[in-house]
Structure 1
Amino acid sequence: MALKRSIATLTLISLTLFSGLFASDDAFAETHKIVLVAGKPSHPARMHEFNAGVQLMAKCLQDQPDVDVHFVLNGWPKDESVFEDTDAVVFFMDGGGRHEIVQENGKRLKTIQSWTEKGVGLGFMHYGVEVVADQAGEEMKRWVGGHYDHMFSCNPIWEPVFNQFPKHPITQGVEPFKIKDEWYFNMRFLAGIEGNQPVDLDGMKFVPILVASPSDDVRDGPYVYPQGPYEHIEASSGRAEAMMWAVERADGGRGFGFTGGHFHDNWGNENFRKVVLNGVLWIAKAEIPANGVEHPVSEDDLNANLDPKGR
C-alpha cells in the first residue's frame, strides 16, 4: 500500500511539473506598474483638468492585462513610495518655472534622473512639456528628447490634421483625425533637430508620432501667450512640426512628449485618446493591443472628477 501511495505521489508531481511546462504565458507575465501624476488645478473649467484627466486615463487602462495603474492628484506626492518599483511615470501638469519636477531645489530632478538610470519610462503632457531651459532643459532632452522653450516654441489654438503615422507601436490602431487644441510646436529638441523626422543621435532613437504642418495663419498668431507672432516661427512657413514624439534612450528606458491636452473634452475623441494611452503603455514596456487601447468614454466619464472652478 505504501508503495502504491509513493507511486501515486510521484505521478502527481510529474504531472504537475509536466503541465507547468505548457502553462500559458499569462501565468508568468510581468506586471508593468504605471504612475500618472496630475498637477494642481489651473485655468477655467474643462481646461487643464489634470486630476480628472489622469483618473480618466487610469480607467481606460484598467482592463489592460498585466498593467498596474496608479494615479497621484494635485501635484508631487507627499508619500513618494508610490513610485517604488514603477516602470513608467507620466506628468500631466502645469510647467514653466512652477513645474512640479523642478521644486525642492533640484531634489526632484535628481530623483527622476535616478529612475531613468534604472530604465524607467517618462511621459510629459501639454503644459508639462514646458520647463525653463536653465532649470531642466538638458534633463528633458536627455529623458524625452526635448521640451517647450518659452518664446522659442509657440502655443496657438488650432486644428491640425494628423493623417500619416510612422510604423510604431504607439500608432497601432490610430486612424487619421483632426482636433482643435492648444497644440504647441517648435520644441527645443536635442541637438537642435527640427523633430519632424526619425533620427538616431547619441544613443537615443527619436521618432515623431503626430506631425502636421501649421498654416501661415497659424504661424502668424495670435498664440495663447505671448500672443506673438515670432519671426522665427513665421520664417519656418511650410515646415511640418511634431506635436507628439517618442524616444528610446541609451539607458534602455523610453519616453514621450505630447503637446495637446488643453481641452478636457478632447478625451472623447477615440484617436486622440488612443495615441496617448498607447504611448503610456509603450513607455512602461507593456504590450499594446494590435488595434491600440480601445475603451469607450461616455459623457458621464468626461464629467467625472472635474475640479471645482467656480461653476
Structure 2
Amino acid sequence: MSRQPPPNPAMDVLLRTLDLKRVEKSLFRGESPQVGWQRVFGGQVIAQALVAATRTVGADRFVHSLHAYFVLPGDPSVPIVYDVETIRDGGTFATRRVVAVQHGKPIFFMTASFQVDEPGFEHQTAMPDVPPPESLPDEAEMRATLLAKAPEPIRAYWERPRPIELRPLSFDRYLSGRRQAPRQDVWMRTTGPVPEDRGLRAAVLAYLSDMTLLDTALAAHGTSIFDRSLQIASLDHAMWFHRPAPLDDWLLYSQDSPCTSGGRGLTRGGIFSRSGTLVASVAQEGLIRKKAKG
C-alpha cells in the first residue's frame, strides 16, 4: 500500500544534494553531504549527473537508460562540476554525455538517453515470491538483535541515518562468513517524501540502485564489503528505466551475480514495485581484490 512518509532529515539532505546549482547553460555544480565518508558514494554521483543531464532536455523527454564509468574516487570535501554535452536531439530521443570533474580531472562520465513517452509492446519477468517487508526486522529491531554483536564497521553502516531504508531478506551473509549463493533480495524505500517530479524521482532511483549490489558478488566467497582486507569499488554502472518510479512505497531490489573473475565482480538487479511491476534493471561491475600487504 502507498504511503506518504513524514519528513526526514536524511531525505532532505539527499534532495538538497540533488538540487544542483547551474553555473552556465550546460555546466552544473553539486555538493556532497559531510557525513564522514572518505569518498563520495557512487550512487550520489550517478544521481547528480542524471539531474544535470535531465535539466538540458525537453520536459517531455524522460531517461530510459544510462551507462556510466567511475574513473577516480570522488572527494566529498569539494564540489563536483558536471559538464553536460548535447550529443543529439532527435524527434523522439535525446542523448547527453556528462563528465564529472574534481581537482581538474574527470572522476566519472556517463551517457544518458531520453525518450518521449510512447505506447508499444509490453512484457516483463515476474517479481520473486518473497516475504513482505513488514515481516522483516525494522531498523530498531536490527539494532537490538542482529547488530548487537556485529563488528563495528557493520554496525556503523547499518545504524547511520540514511535517506533509503533497507530491509534485506537475509542478514546472515554479513555475520556468518559462510559461502552463499550469489543472489539476494532487499526491500528498499525512501525515508521521507519525494516531490512529484519524474526526473527527480528517476535520480533518486538511480541513487538507490548503487546500494548493496557488490555484496551480492561477495556472498559467493563468504565475505562482504565490510572486509577491510579487500579493495572494493564500483567500476561501471548501467541502468534501464522501464516505467516511472513509485517512491511512495517499498521497492524490491532482486539481485544476482553471474560471475567474478580477474579481480572484478559482475552484478545484476531488477527493481520491482510492491505490486510486482518491473520499474528498472541494473548491471554493475566492481573491483574486488585483496589489498597489497605493506
TM-score, structure 2 normalization: 0.26
The structure having more radius of gyration, on CA atoms, is: 1
